[in-house]
Chain A
Amino acid sequence: MTPLAGGRKTAAGGVVFTAAGIRRGARRALPLVAGLLPFGLVAGVMSQAHGLSWLEGLLMAGLVFAGSGQVLALSTWSQDAPALTATVACLVVNLRMMLMGPSLAGWLDRLRGWRVWGSLFFMADHNWALSITDLRSGGQDAGFLLGSGLALWSMWVLGCVLGFSLGGLLQPAPGHPLFFVVLAVFIALLVTLWRGRPDALPWAVAAAVAVLVQRLLPGGTWYIVAGALSGSLAGMLRDRRVRA
């Protein structure tokens, strides 16, 4: 018995990668780009405050394209030894991405070359979640991932550039409610990821472990990886017992 029949549905066979799929992904991601803008502004303001040149700021936004990674790396950016500390900080926040790619295997396994590795370059939390939902509901067009990623990337770069050029003019305080937009996007994504009762236990375990690890190991983002892995593990083990 599979408790989550919908979740097992992988697009068997006829996976395609079309321009129409890319456009559809971009349209789907449009409402979510709102959540990137405040983050982009902050990253842009921070790059400027830390004395990065305009070009360096732009390169960082375009090549790294990772909100929390960039903000965290910039906060450790100092005169003395920036590169190594910043890189390690970046690695720790982005570790979760290693877990994200494999869940899209239903699409990626059937693509080759730049379509795989190019799409993965533009994979961020938001379009990954959108793609998972599309894949689960039987979506066959893998261009969706790239299209939604490109939309987010453009807005991210734009946000960073705006933040950089406006600099001190636009500096929302850390506790400003505008930042709730970042959480709101993830909460709305969670609503679309909810598949019913079988998700309750893994989600509860994830929440508990994430809160606990965050208390025990403050400063990093290990809690995200720890929460996600233990919650998913709990779900898998539960399903096994149900089936046995």
Chain B
Amino acid sequence: MAVVTYACRGGGYWLFRQIRPTPAIRGVLDYLPGTLFVSYVVPGLLSGGLQQWLAALATVLAMVATRQFAWAIAAGTATAWVAWYLT
């Protein structure tokens, strides 16, 4: 398991080093960070309920307002907790 995981961590970049990346590949990589986390978060939110959407909204608002991860995470989790108790 450790080997397989490291093969994924290091292997992607190792392969990348062996090829000469075209502008198309660079263009795709440029968008990858955002789309990867979107693909993570959206199905997760859909499997939850209204409470999760409210908490997600609170996280975004707090992050936009404060630009501090600690506040955003605290606001989101607190909202999830409150919404969970109320419903």
Contact = CB atoms under 8 A, between A and B. Distances in A.
Interface of A: 4, 7-8, 31-32, 34-35, 60, 63-66, 69-70, 73, 86-87, 90-91, 94-105, 108-109, 116-117, 120-121, 123, 125, 128-129, 132, 176-178, 180-181, 183-195, 199, 202-203, 205-207, 209-211, 214, 223-229, 231-233, 235-236, 239-240
B22 to A, nearest CB: 10
A105 B36 contact: no
A228 B1 contact: no
Interface of B: 1-2, 4-6, 8-17, 21, 24, 27-46, 51-52, 55-56, 59-60, 63-64, 68-70, 72-73, 76-77, 80-81, 83-84
B40 to A, nearest CB: 6
Nearest to B16: A102
A207 B39 contact: yes
B36 A98 contact: no
Which interface residue of A4, A178, A187, A239 has the most chain B CB atoms within 10 A? Answer: A187
A206 B35 contact: yes
A177 to B, nearest CB: 4
B24 A100 contact: no
Contact of A91 (B8, B40, B72): B8
B27 A185 contact: no
B71 to A, nearest CB: 9
A4 B30 contact: yes
Contacts of A100: 9, 12, 32, 36
Contacts, number: 236
Nearest to A126: B69
A188 B59 contact: yes
Given A95-B8, A191-B60, A211 B42 contact: yes
B6 A121 contact: yes
Given A4-B30, A64-B1, A121-B9, A185 B69 contact: yes
A99 B29 CA distance: 8
Contacts of B21: 102, 105
Contact of A190 (B6, B37, B70, B73): B37
Contact of B38 (A35, A69, A103, A210): A210
Contacts of A235: 27-28, 30-31, 35
Contacts of B40: 125, 186, 210, 224
18 contacts: A31-B69, A87-B1, A94-B9, A98-B12, A102-B29, A105-B21, A180-B81, A183-B52, A184-B56, A184-B80, A185-B73, A187-B59, A199-B34, A206-B38, A206-B39, A214-B43, A224-B39, A235-B30
B73 to A, nearest CB: 5
B84 to A, nearest CB: 4
Given A231-B35, A235-B31, A240-B27, A181 B12 contact: no
